[in-house]
C-alpha cells in the first residue's frame, strides 16, 4: 500500500512500515538491518533525551539522539548499549569517551593512527605537543626541519636539520653543544682524535679520591696541576705554569722550585740532588762522576 500526501497528513496512532505490530510512532520493519527492525524514530514524552534514531534492537542497540529536549541547542550523542560513545555538543566540539568535550576533538583514552598526523608549528610558549596540566611545556617546530623542546614557555633544547643537539643554545655547531655547566656522576669514555677536546677561556679538571688533573686556561698564565690527594688546592700538588716573559715554572707544595726562562736557562731555588732523593746542598751528586767541558 502506498500513501501520498499533497498537504499535511495526520495519524493519531502508531504507523508501521514493513510490520503490522508498530510499537513506536513510526516503525520500519523488514531486513533493513540484518533480521532486526529497521529505522526507529522515537520522541517519547517525559524522556531525558530528544528524538533519536535507532538502528538495532535492544539490548545491543546503536542509536543517535539529542541529549536534551531542546532541538536547537541540544548536543548529539551516539550510543552503544545505552552508553554514550561520541558526543557533538552545541559548540561543534566532538568528544570520544567524554560527554563534555573541551576542544574540537577531545579524546579520553588511547588513540592510534596508521597514517601521518600533522599539527601546527607551535612555539616555545604554546608547543604543538603539550600536556593538559602543562600547556607551555612540550615539543614544537623551531624552524625549517628543526625541533624545539620547551619547559615553562622557554626553549631548552633544539635538534637542527643537521642532527646537532643544542642545550641552552638555539644554534648548536656540534653533535652535542651545551651552553652551560654539565655534571656527570658516572664515567666519561671518549675515543677522539687530537684536538677534538679543548677548553676555551675556562678550566678542565678531573679528580678522584686519590689523585687528579686540573687544566686552567683562564687568565694571563695558564697552568697544569697534578694533584696527589684528589683535592684541587692541596698543598702537595705539582704545578707547571707559564708567566710573563715566556717563563715556565715548576712548583711543588705551592713553592716555585724550577724556572726555565726564554733563553733556556734553568734557575733552581731549592737543593738539587743527582743520585739522591734528599740533597743537603744546592748541588749534591752521589755515586757518579762530574764532567765539565768548555
Over residues 14-30, the pLDDT tens digits come to 888 777 777 777 776 65
Q: Looking at residue 289, what is its pLDDT?
A: 79
CB distance 202 to 190 below 8 Å: no
74 in a structural domain: yes
CA distances (Å), origin 157, targets 115, 118, 131, 184:
28, 22, 18, 18
Q: How many domains does the chain have?
A: 3
Q: Looking at residue 38, what is its pLDDT?
A: 45
Peptide bond into 113 cis (omega under 30): no
CB distance 148 to 142 below 8 Å: yes
Of 178, 193, 219, which one is at a domain's C-terminal end? 178
Same domain, 76 and 133: no
Q: How many CA atoms lie within 13 A of 151 on its CB side?
A: 4
CB distance 39 to 29 below 8 Å: no
Q: Looking at residue 148, what is its pLDDT?
A: 97
Same domain, 224 and 154: no
117 in a structural domain: no
189 in a structural domain: no
Same domain, 41 and 101: yes
39 in a structural domain: yes
Same domain, 240 and 171: no
Residues facing residue 76 across a β-bridge: 66, 88
192 in a structural domain: no
Which segments of the chain have a pLDDT < 70? 1-7, 28-74, 82, 188-223, 227-237
Domain of residue 152: give its range: 129-178
Same domain, 88 and 135: no
Q: Looking at residue 240, what is its pLDDT?
A: 76
Same domain, 174 and 218: no
Sort strands 283-285 and 255-260 into parallel, antiparallel or unpaired: unpaired
Same domain, 165 and 215: no
Please report where in the chains the cell 738539587 appears, as a residue.
272
Q: Looking at residue 161, what is its pLDDT?
A: 96
Same domain, 228 and 164: no
Residues in the chain: 294
Identify how many contiguous H helices and E strands the chain contains and give both numbers. 0, 24
2 in a structural domain: no
Amino acid at each position: 500500500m502506498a500513501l501520498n500526501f499533497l498537504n499535511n497528513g495526520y495519524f493519531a496512532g502508531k504507523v508501521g512500515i514493513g510490520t503490522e505490530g508498530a510499537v513506536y510512532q513510526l516503525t520500519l520493519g523488514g531486513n533493513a538491518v540484518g533480521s532486526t527492525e529497521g529505522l526507529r524514530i522515537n520522541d517519547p514524552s517525559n524522556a531525558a533525551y530528544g528524538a533519536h534514531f535507532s538502528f538495532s534492537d535492544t539490548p545491543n542497540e546503536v542509536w543517535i539522539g539529542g541529549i536534551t529536549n531542546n532541538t536547537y541547542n541540544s548536543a548529539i550523542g551516539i550510543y552503544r548499549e545505552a552508553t554514550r560513545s561520541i558526543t557533538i555538543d552545541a559548540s561543534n566540539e566532538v568528544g570520544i569517551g567524554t560527554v563534555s568535550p573541551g576542544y574540537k576533538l577531545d579524546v579520553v583514552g588511547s588513540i592510534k593512527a596508521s597514517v601521518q598526523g600533522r599539527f601546527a608549528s607551535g612555539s616555545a610558549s604554546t608547543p604543538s605537543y603539550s600536556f593538559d596540566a602543562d600547556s607551555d611545556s612540550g615539543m614544537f617546530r623551531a624552524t625549517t626541519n628543526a625541533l624545539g623542546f620547551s619547559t615553562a614557555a622557554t626553549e631548552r633544547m633544539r635538534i637542527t636539520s643537521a642532527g646537532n643537539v643544542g642545550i641552552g643554545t638555539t644554534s648548536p655547531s656540534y653533535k652535542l653543544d651545551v651552553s652551560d655547566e654539565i655534571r656527570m656522576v658516572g664515567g666519561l669514555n671518549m675515543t677522539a682524535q687530537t684536538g677534538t677536546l679543548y677548553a676555551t677561556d675556562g678550566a678542565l679538571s678531573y679528580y678522584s679520591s686519590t689523585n687528579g688533573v686540573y687544566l686552567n686556561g683562564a687568565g694571563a698564565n695558564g697552568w697544569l696541576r697534578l694533584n696527589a690527594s684528589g683535592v684541587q688546592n692541596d698543598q702537595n700538588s705539582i704545578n707547571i705554569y707559564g708567566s710573563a716573559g715566556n717563563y715556565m715554572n715548576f712548583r711543588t707544595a705551592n713553592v716555585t722550585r724550577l724556572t726555565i726562562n726564554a733563553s733556556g736557562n734553568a734557575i733552581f731555588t731549592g737543593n738539587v740532588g743527582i743520585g739522591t732523593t734528599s740533597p743537603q746542598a744546592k748541588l749534591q751528586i752521589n755515586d757518579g762522576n762530574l764532567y765539565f767541558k768548555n
